[in-house]
Amino acid sequence: MFKKLIAESAAKSPWLFHINAGSCNGCDIELVSVLTPRYDAERLGFKLAGSPRHADIVVVTGPVTTQSLPRVLRAISQVPEPRCIVTMGSCPQSGNVFRGSYSVAGPLSKYVHVDVDVAGCAPKPEAVIDGLALATKILKEKRGR
Amino acid sequence: MDFPFIKEAISQLFSKSSCAMYPAAESPAAPNYRGRIVYHPDRCIACGMCERVCSGNAITRRVEKTDEGDKITLTFNLGSCTFCATCADFCSRNAIEFTGDYHMVATKEEDLLVSGSFIKKPPAKKPAPAAKPQAAPAEAPKETPACAVVPREDGKPVSDPSKCVYCTLCAKKCPAGAIEVDRAAKTWALDEEKCVACGTCAEVCPKKCIIM
Protein backbone atom coordinates (compact mmCIF):
# COMPACT_ATOMS: atom_id res chain seq x y z
CA MET A 1 0.00 0.00 0.00
CA PHE A 2 2.77 2.39 0.91
CA LYS A 3 4.67 1.42 -2.19
CA LYS A 4 1.70 2.37 -4.35
CA LEU A 5 1.31 5.67 -2.52
CA ILE A 6 4.98 6.48 -3.00
CA ALA A 7 4.86 5.56 -6.67
CA GLU A 8 1.83 7.77 -7.23
CA SER A 9 3.39 10.68 -5.41
CA ALA A 10 6.70 10.28 -7.22
CA ALA A 11 4.95 10.42 -10.59
CA LYS A 12 3.55 13.82 -9.68
CA SER A 13 6.83 15.22 -8.45
CA PRO A 14 9.79 14.39 -10.69
CA TRP A 15 13.09 15.66 -9.40
CA LEU A 16 15.54 17.33 -11.72
CA PHE A 17 19.25 16.98 -11.98
CA HIS A 18 21.04 19.61 -13.99
CA ILE A 19 24.31 18.86 -15.81
CA ASN A 20 26.31 21.66 -17.37
CA ALA A 21 28.31 20.04 -20.18
CA GLY A 22 30.31 23.10 -21.20
CA SER A 23 27.40 25.45 -21.56
CA CYS A 24 27.84 29.20 -22.05
CA ASN A 25 25.64 29.68 -18.95
CA GLY A 26 22.71 31.13 -20.90
CA CYS A 27 20.63 27.98 -20.62
CA ASP A 28 21.70 27.44 -17.00
CA ILE A 29 20.37 30.85 -16.04
CA GLU A 30 17.08 30.15 -17.85
CA LEU A 31 16.75 26.82 -16.04
CA VAL A 32 17.35 28.50 -12.69
CA SER A 33 14.75 31.13 -13.52
CA VAL A 34 12.24 28.32 -14.10
CA LEU A 35 12.73 27.25 -10.48
CA THR A 36 12.55 30.74 -8.98
CA PRO A 37 9.23 32.21 -7.74
CA ARG A 38 8.67 34.04 -11.03
CA TYR A 39 8.00 30.90 -13.10
CA ASP A 40 7.95 28.55 -10.12
CA ALA A 41 8.19 25.05 -11.54
CA GLU A 42 8.03 23.79 -7.96
CA ARG A 43 4.28 24.44 -7.91
CA LEU A 44 4.13 21.77 -10.66
CA GLY A 45 6.15 19.34 -8.57
CA PHE A 46 9.59 19.81 -10.13
CA LYS A 47 12.40 20.06 -7.64
CA LEU A 48 16.10 20.45 -8.19
CA ALA A 49 17.98 17.50 -6.70
CA GLY A 50 21.52 17.76 -5.48
CA SER A 51 22.53 14.24 -6.43
CA PRO A 52 21.90 12.29 -9.65
CA ARG A 53 20.84 9.31 -7.50
CA HIS A 54 17.76 11.26 -6.36
CA ALA A 55 16.73 12.44 -9.80
CA ASP A 56 14.11 11.35 -12.32
CA ILE A 57 14.77 13.89 -15.05
CA VAL A 58 18.26 14.88 -16.21
CA VAL A 59 18.56 18.28 -17.87
CA VAL A 60 21.72 18.64 -19.95
CA THR A 61 22.95 22.02 -21.19
CA GLY A 62 26.03 22.73 -23.26
CA PRO A 63 27.65 21.11 -26.30
CA VAL A 64 29.22 18.17 -24.34
CA THR A 65 32.92 18.97 -24.39
CA THR A 66 35.58 16.24 -24.36
CA GLN A 67 36.44 17.23 -20.79
CA SER A 68 32.86 16.92 -19.58
CA LEU A 69 31.85 13.81 -21.56
CA PRO A 70 33.06 11.11 -19.10
CA ARG A 71 31.55 13.07 -16.20
CA VAL A 72 28.24 13.53 -18.00
CA LEU A 73 28.01 9.83 -18.81
CA ARG A 74 28.93 8.88 -15.27
CA ALA A 75 26.35 11.23 -13.77
CA ILE A 76 23.66 9.98 -16.16
CA SER A 77 24.48 6.34 -15.40
CA GLN A 78 23.95 7.08 -11.71
CA VAL A 79 20.37 8.22 -12.32
CA PRO A 80 18.04 5.31 -11.54
CA GLU A 81 15.76 3.92 -14.23
CA PRO A 82 13.19 4.93 -15.37
CA ARG A 83 14.80 8.23 -16.19
CA CYS A 84 14.17 10.91 -18.73
CA ILE A 85 16.94 12.88 -20.42
CA VAL A 86 16.09 16.40 -21.55
CA THR A 87 18.48 18.43 -23.68
CA MET A 88 18.10 22.15 -23.23
CA GLY A 89 19.06 24.59 -25.94
CA SER A 90 20.60 23.91 -29.34
CA CYS A 91 24.07 22.92 -28.07
CA PRO A 92 23.52 19.35 -26.76
CA GLN A 93 21.39 18.54 -29.82
CA SER A 94 23.82 19.57 -32.51
CA GLY A 95 26.77 21.50 -31.10
CA ASN A 96 25.31 24.75 -32.43
CA VAL A 97 28.08 27.32 -33.05
CA PHE A 98 30.63 25.04 -31.36
CA ARG A 99 30.06 22.28 -33.91
CA GLY A 100 33.29 20.99 -35.38
CA SER A 101 35.46 22.24 -32.55
CA TYR A 102 38.32 19.99 -31.47
CA SER A 103 37.08 20.07 -27.89
CA VAL A 104 33.44 19.23 -28.57
CA ALA A 105 32.44 15.56 -28.34
CA GLY A 106 28.70 16.10 -28.83
CA PRO A 107 25.92 15.83 -29.79
CA LEU A 108 24.64 14.03 -26.72
CA SER A 109 22.41 11.68 -28.74
CA LYS A 110 25.57 9.90 -29.95
CA TYR A 111 26.10 8.51 -26.43
CA VAL A 112 22.72 8.22 -24.70
CA HIS A 113 19.07 8.09 -25.72
CA VAL A 114 17.63 11.59 -25.50
CA ASP A 115 13.93 11.75 -24.71
CA VAL A 116 13.04 15.42 -25.08
CA ASP A 117 14.71 18.24 -27.03
CA VAL A 118 13.95 21.83 -26.05
CA ALA A 119 15.09 24.10 -28.88
CA GLY A 120 16.09 27.71 -28.45
CA CYS A 121 19.25 29.60 -27.78
CA ALA A 122 18.51 29.98 -24.94
CA PRO A 123 14.96 28.61 -24.62
CA LYS A 124 12.37 30.76 -22.90
CA PRO A 125 11.46 29.55 -19.37
CA GLU A 126 7.96 28.76 -20.66
CA ALA A 127 9.48 26.46 -23.29
CA VAL A 128 11.48 24.72 -20.56
CA ILE A 129 8.27 24.17 -18.57
CA ASP A 130 6.72 22.69 -21.76
CA GLY A 131 9.68 20.37 -22.12
CA LEU A 132 9.57 19.26 -18.50
CA ALA A 133 5.83 18.60 -18.77
CA LEU A 134 6.49 16.41 -21.80
CA ALA A 135 9.30 14.65 -19.90
CA THR A 136 6.87 13.91 -17.04
CA LYS A 137 4.47 12.36 -19.52
CA ILE A 138 7.23 10.17 -20.98
CA LEU A 139 8.32 9.22 -17.47
CA LYS A 140 4.78 8.12 -16.67
CA GLU A 141 4.71 5.95 -19.79
CA LYS A 142 8.05 4.39 -18.88
CA ARG A 143 6.80 3.58 -15.39
CA GLY A 144 3.59 2.09 -16.74
CA ARG A 145 5.42 -0.56 -18.72
CA MET B 1 7.25 46.13 20.44
CA ASP B 2 8.54 47.05 17.03
CA PHE B 3 7.96 44.81 14.05
CA PRO B 4 10.10 45.81 11.10
CA PHE B 5 8.39 45.74 7.68
CA ILE B 6 5.07 44.64 9.24
CA LYS B 7 3.11 46.91 6.90
CA GLU B 8 4.92 45.55 3.87
CA ALA B 9 4.42 41.95 5.00
CA ILE B 10 0.67 42.37 5.50
CA SER B 11 0.13 44.23 2.24
CA GLN B 12 2.08 41.58 0.32
CA LEU B 13 0.07 38.84 2.00
CA PHE B 14 -3.11 40.04 0.28
CA SER B 15 -1.60 41.20 -3.01
CA LYS B 16 -1.59 39.21 -6.23
CA SER B 17 1.09 36.58 -6.73
CA SER B 18 4.04 37.67 -8.82
CA CYS B 19 4.29 34.19 -10.28
CA ALA B 20 3.59 33.80 -13.99
CA MET B 21 1.06 30.95 -13.99
CA TYR B 22 2.42 29.71 -17.27
CA PRO B 23 0.70 26.48 -18.33
CA ALA B 24 -2.65 27.75 -17.00
CA ALA B 25 -2.30 31.32 -18.32
CA GLU B 26 -0.89 32.03 -21.77
CA SER B 27 2.31 34.02 -21.82
CA PRO B 28 2.99 35.69 -25.17
CA ALA B 29 6.57 36.40 -26.16
CA ALA B 30 7.96 39.92 -26.07
CA PRO B 31 7.74 41.98 -29.27
CA ASN B 32 10.53 41.17 -31.74
CA TYR B 33 11.20 37.87 -29.97
CA ARG B 34 13.04 35.52 -32.27
CA GLY B 35 11.30 32.17 -32.06
CA ARG B 36 10.29 29.49 -34.55
CA ILE B 37 11.38 30.18 -38.12
CA VAL B 38 8.75 30.48 -40.82
CA TYR B 39 10.09 30.05 -44.32
CA HIS B 40 8.27 31.46 -47.35
CA PRO B 41 9.41 29.40 -50.33
CA ASP B 42 7.29 31.48 -52.71
CA ARG B 43 9.54 34.49 -52.06
CA CYS B 44 12.86 32.62 -52.01
CA ILE B 45 15.17 32.76 -55.01
CA ALA B 46 17.77 30.31 -53.66
CA CYS B 47 20.67 32.77 -53.66
CA GLY B 48 22.27 30.84 -50.78
CA MET B 49 23.10 33.91 -48.70
CA CYS B 50 21.32 32.57 -45.59
CA GLU B 51 23.32 29.36 -45.76
CA ARG B 52 26.58 31.30 -45.96
CA VAL B 53 25.93 33.59 -43.02
CA CYS B 54 24.49 30.91 -40.69
CA SER B 55 26.84 30.43 -37.76
CA GLY B 56 25.28 27.19 -36.54
CA ASN B 57 25.14 25.41 -39.94
CA ALA B 58 21.40 25.13 -39.40
CA ILE B 59 20.38 25.73 -43.02
CA THR B 60 20.73 23.11 -45.73
CA ARG B 61 19.77 23.45 -49.37
CA ARG B 62 18.91 20.47 -51.52
CA VAL B 63 18.43 20.66 -55.27
CA GLU B 64 16.52 17.98 -57.15
CA LYS B 65 16.18 17.97 -60.91
CA THR B 66 12.59 17.62 -62.08
CA ASP B 67 10.89 18.03 -65.42
CA GLU B 68 9.51 21.44 -64.53
CA GLY B 69 12.81 22.75 -63.28
CA ASP B 70 15.04 22.51 -60.23
CA LYS B 71 13.14 21.65 -57.07
CA ILE B 72 14.92 23.52 -54.31
CA THR B 73 14.32 22.56 -50.69
CA LEU B 74 15.62 24.63 -47.81
CA THR B 75 15.65 23.02 -44.38
CA PHE B 76 16.13 24.95 -41.16
CA ASN B 77 17.21 22.81 -38.22
CA LEU B 78 15.89 24.59 -35.13
CA GLY B 79 17.97 22.23 -33.01
CA SER B 80 21.10 23.81 -34.46
CA CYS B 81 19.87 27.38 -34.75
CA THR B 82 21.22 30.26 -32.66
CA PHE B 83 18.17 32.42 -33.45
CA CYS B 84 20.51 35.29 -34.30
CA ALA B 85 18.29 36.26 -37.30
CA THR B 86 21.34 36.99 -39.46
CA CYS B 87 19.79 34.87 -42.24
CA ALA B 88 16.63 36.98 -42.14
CA ASP B 89 18.71 40.18 -42.19
CA PHE B 90 20.67 39.05 -45.21
CA CYS B 91 17.66 37.70 -47.11
CA SER B 92 17.00 40.23 -49.84
CA ARG B 93 13.49 38.87 -50.46
CA ASN B 94 12.36 38.58 -46.80
CA ALA B 95 11.67 34.88 -47.23
CA ILE B 96 12.76 34.02 -43.68
CA GLU B 97 10.64 35.18 -40.80
CA PHE B 98 11.17 34.80 -37.06
CA THR B 99 7.92 34.44 -35.16
CA GLY B 100 7.08 34.77 -31.49
CA ASP B 101 6.31 31.06 -31.18
CA TYR B 102 8.68 29.65 -28.59
CA HIS B 103 6.99 26.25 -28.06
CA MET B 104 9.81 24.29 -29.65
CA VAL B 105 9.73 21.01 -27.79
CA ALA B 106 10.23 17.70 -29.56
CA THR B 107 10.87 14.07 -28.83
CA LYS B 108 12.39 13.44 -32.27
CA GLU B 109 14.92 15.52 -34.15
CA GLU B 110 12.71 15.59 -37.25
CA ASP B 111 10.09 17.59 -35.37
CA LEU B 112 12.50 20.49 -35.09
CA LEU B 113 13.04 20.81 -38.83
CA VAL B 114 11.34 23.61 -40.72
CA SER B 115 11.48 23.10 -44.44
CA GLY B 116 9.92 24.37 -47.60
CA SER B 117 10.48 23.77 -51.27
CA PHE B 118 9.76 25.49 -54.50
CA ILE B 119 10.40 24.82 -58.15
CA LYS B 120 12.79 27.20 -59.80
CA LYS B 121 11.92 27.29 -63.47
CA PRO B 122 14.78 27.90 -65.83
CA PRO B 123 13.77 31.22 -67.41
CA ALA B 124 16.96 31.62 -69.38
CA LYS B 125 16.71 28.35 -71.28
CA LYS B 126 13.21 28.56 -72.79
CA PRO B 127 13.18 32.15 -74.00
CA ALA B 128 16.89 32.05 -74.73
CA PRO B 129 16.65 32.06 -78.54
CA ALA B 130 13.99 34.75 -78.43
CA ALA B 131 15.55 36.80 -75.67
CA LYS B 132 19.02 37.01 -77.07
CA PRO B 133 18.23 39.38 -79.90
CA GLN B 134 16.34 41.48 -77.34
CA ALA B 135 19.20 41.36 -74.89
CA ALA B 136 21.64 42.62 -77.47
CA PRO B 137 19.94 45.99 -78.01
CA ALA B 138 19.49 46.25 -74.23
CA GLU B 139 23.21 45.90 -73.80
CA ALA B 140 23.98 48.25 -76.61
CA PRO B 141 22.96 51.42 -74.75
CA LYS B 142 25.02 50.21 -71.82
CA GLU B 143 28.14 50.76 -73.85
CA THR B 144 27.16 54.27 -74.88
CA PRO B 145 27.32 56.37 -71.72
CA ALA B 146 25.06 59.09 -73.02
CA CYS B 147 21.99 56.85 -73.06
CA ALA B 148 20.04 55.98 -69.90
CA VAL B 149 20.10 52.28 -69.07
CA VAL B 150 16.98 50.27 -69.78
CA PRO B 151 16.00 47.75 -67.09
CA ARG B 152 16.01 44.20 -68.36
CA GLU B 153 12.87 42.17 -68.71
CA ASP B 154 14.17 39.09 -66.87
CA GLY B 155 14.80 41.01 -63.63
CA LYS B 156 18.57 40.75 -63.78
CA PRO B 157 20.77 43.75 -63.01
CA VAL B 158 22.11 46.28 -65.47
CA SER B 159 24.85 48.74 -64.58
CA ASP B 160 24.82 52.33 -65.71
CA PRO B 161 28.40 53.01 -66.89
CA SER B 162 27.97 56.77 -66.67
CA LYS B 163 27.47 56.51 -62.89
CA CYS B 164 29.55 53.41 -62.10
CA VAL B 165 32.84 54.01 -60.30
CA TYR B 166 33.96 50.33 -60.54
CA CYS B 167 34.32 49.97 -56.79
CA THR B 168 33.75 46.15 -57.08
CA LEU B 169 31.41 46.19 -54.08
CA CYS B 170 28.65 44.49 -56.08
CA ALA B 171 31.04 41.74 -57.17
CA LYS B 172 32.12 41.17 -53.56
CA LYS B 173 28.57 41.05 -52.22
CA CYS B 174 27.07 38.92 -55.01
CA PRO B 175 26.03 35.62 -53.39
CA ALA B 176 26.33 33.77 -56.69
CA GLY B 177 29.61 35.34 -57.77
CA ALA B 178 27.99 36.39 -61.02
CA ILE B 179 29.50 39.86 -61.35
CA GLU B 180 32.99 40.55 -62.55
CA VAL B 181 34.34 44.06 -62.31
CA ASP B 182 37.72 45.11 -63.64
CA ARG B 183 38.92 48.31 -62.10
CA ALA B 184 41.75 48.93 -64.52
CA ALA B 185 39.81 48.17 -67.70
CA LYS B 186 36.63 49.79 -66.30
CA THR B 187 34.36 46.94 -67.27
CA TRP B 188 31.32 45.54 -65.53
CA ALA B 189 30.27 42.07 -66.67
CA LEU B 190 27.40 39.85 -65.58
CA ASP B 191 27.43 36.09 -65.83
CA GLU B 192 23.81 35.44 -66.72
CA GLU B 193 24.04 31.74 -65.97
CA LYS B 194 25.11 32.35 -62.38
CA CYS B 195 22.91 35.39 -61.62
CA VAL B 196 19.86 34.63 -59.49
CA ALA B 197 18.40 38.16 -59.66
CA CYS B 198 18.44 38.61 -55.90
CA GLY B 199 19.01 42.36 -55.94
CA THR B 200 21.92 42.37 -53.52
CA CYS B 201 24.15 44.25 -55.98
CA ALA B 202 21.57 47.00 -56.48
CA GLU B 203 21.21 47.34 -52.71
CA VAL B 204 24.89 47.65 -51.94
CA CYS B 205 25.80 49.94 -54.87
CA PRO B 206 26.97 53.24 -53.34
CA LYS B 207 26.24 55.12 -56.56
CA LYS B 208 22.87 53.45 -57.15
CA CYS B 209 23.87 52.75 -60.73
CA ILE B 210 22.59 49.16 -60.87
CA ILE B 211 19.05 48.90 -62.16
CA MET B 212 16.96 45.79 -61.69
pLDDT tens digits for range A102-131: 999 978 989 999 999 999 888 999 999 999
As a whole number of angstroms, the longest Cα–Cα distance in chain A is: 53
Residue A90 pLDDT > 60, yes or no?
yes
For A:106-135, CB contacts with B below 8 A are 109, 115-121, 123-127, 129-131, 133-134
Nearest chain B residue to A115 by CA: give it.
Answer: B107
Residue B126 pLDDT > 90, yes or no?
no
In this structure, are residues B82 and A96 in contact, taking their beta carbons and an 8 Å threshold?
Answer: yes
Residues 6+ apart with CB under 8 A from A44: A129, A132, A133, B23
Partner-chain residue, chosen from B18, B19, B79, that has the shortest CB–CB distance to A94: B79
Rounded to two decimals, what is the model's pTM? 0.75
**What local confidence, expressed as pLDDT, does residue B202 receive?**
86
Spell out the domains of chain B, with CATH numbers in brackets. 28-120 (3.30.70.3270), 128-211 (3.30.70.20)
What are the residue boundaries of the structural domains of chain A, listed by start?
14-144
Residue B142 pLDDT > 70, yes or no?
no
Partner-chain residue, chosen from B18, B79, B106, that has the shortest CB–CB distance to A90: B79
Q: What is the 3-state secondary structure (H, E, C) of B49-115?
A: HHHHHCCCCCEEEEEEECCCCEEEEEEEECCCCCCCCHHHHHCCCCCEEECCCCCCEECCHHHHEEE
With CB atoms and an 8 Å threshold, state whether B56 touches A129: no
Is 1.10.10.60 the CATH number for A14-144? no
Nearest chain A residue to B53 by CA: give it.
Answer: A97
